[in-house]
Amino acid sequence: MNRYGHMMAKKSVRDALRLDEVDLSTLDPAGRPVGPQSKKEAAEDLVATGAELDDLQEALYAENSRAVLLVLQGMDTSGKGGVVRHVMGLVNPQGVRIASFKKPTAAELRHHYLWRIRRVLPEKGRLGAFDRSHYEDVLVPKVERLITAAELRTRYKEINTFERELADSGITLIKCFLHISPEVQKERLLARLDDPRKNWKYNPADIDVRSKWSKYQGAYTQALKNCRDTPWYAIPSDRKWYRNWTISRLLLETLREMDPKFPPPAYDLEAEKARLVNNDPLR
């Protein structure tokens, strides 16, 4: 037990979910390979994790030298937006930077595909989250055959280089593949059609993408295999509560390891107290 009093997973979530062999067909999207087995237990733990995350994030912000970037990838309805709401929502919004990447605009297409990504990297001290990312540029083009195999290989290499560059600049990446089953996607798409408050989230093109499920799984497999100089985590995402719990713990383990420190005062503490107490200009 640490001072927050919540459970410590026997095995770290990072060790349990890090993708070594990339074979999506052997991964159970409804699995719970580590941590709580019930929604109730996960909810309790999330409260304590939130409190600790909030403290660590404040120290990261105060330290002002490093950053964390959560990269969220997954099929439609896999829960990228849900993670932003339920996990990033645990900490002070002042230190959070959310960016989401949709189909590139005409202006974005006039640049290298990493251009729009670099523009919204989290500044020092921030906790960033990408809802989709540069990985879209090795998924859609492969499925839709928009670029050649050689161009695709170039992109994989560029992405590895780019991510090493981020690490060198003090940005720790946490790359999450939100893994869902086609059955759960169907349920969630139907829910978007059935609830008037969710209709706006549905796009008829979602079914066109769904029809290419196995091609996308193949494109993910290639991307995850070829771009893992920085590790990927496979998040079983058929259960929303398990998905949120695992990602909150990945963030927590990462921030604990980074161990950000509140900086010591860059001024003379006693002299400043004296100025305020003995020489208060407004006495």
Chain residues binding a second copy by CB under 8 A are 58-59, 62, 81, 84-85, 88-89, 92-94, 96, 98, 100, 131, 182, 186, 189-190, 193, 196-197, 199-204, 207, 210-211, 213, 262-265, 267, 269, 272-273, 275-277, 280-282
State how far the Cα of 211 lies from the Cα of 198, in Å rounded to an integer: 22
Instruction: Using the minimum distance from each CB to a second copy, give the nearer residue, 92 or 169.
Output: 92
Helix (H, G, I), strand (E, B) or coil at 98: strand
- Minimum CB separation of residue 97 from a second copy in Å reads 9
> Least separation, in Å, of the C-beta of 21 and a second copy?
25
- Minimum distance from residue 136 beta carbon to a second copy (Å): 18
Which of 115/262 has CB closer to a second copy?
Answer: 262
Comparison of 33 and 218: residue with beta carbon closer to a second copy: 218
**Non-local CB neighbours of 2 within 8 Å, separated by 6+ positions:** 8, 52
Element (H, E) at 215: helix 213-226
Smaller CB separation from a second copy, 84 or 227? 84
Query: Which amino acid type is present at position 181?
Result: S
Question: At its nearest, how many Å lie between a second copy and the CB of residue 225?
Answer: 24
Using the minimum distance from each CB to a second copy, give the nearer residue, 157 or 182.
182
Would the CA dihedral through 29, 33, 35, 39 be positive or negative? Answer: positive
* Nearest to a second copy of 61, 163 (CB atom): 61
Tokens of 159: 């992405």
Q: Which residues on neighbouring strands pair with residue 234, listed in sequence order?
A: 177
Q: Starting from the edge strand earliest in sequence, which strands make up the sheet with 232-236, in order?
A: 96-100, 127-131, 67-74, 171-179, 232-236
CB of 147 to a second copy, least distance (A): 25
> Helix, strand, or coil here: 90?
helix
Q: Which two tokens stand for residue 22?
A: 């990339």
Minimum distance of a second copy from residue 141's CB (angstroms):
21
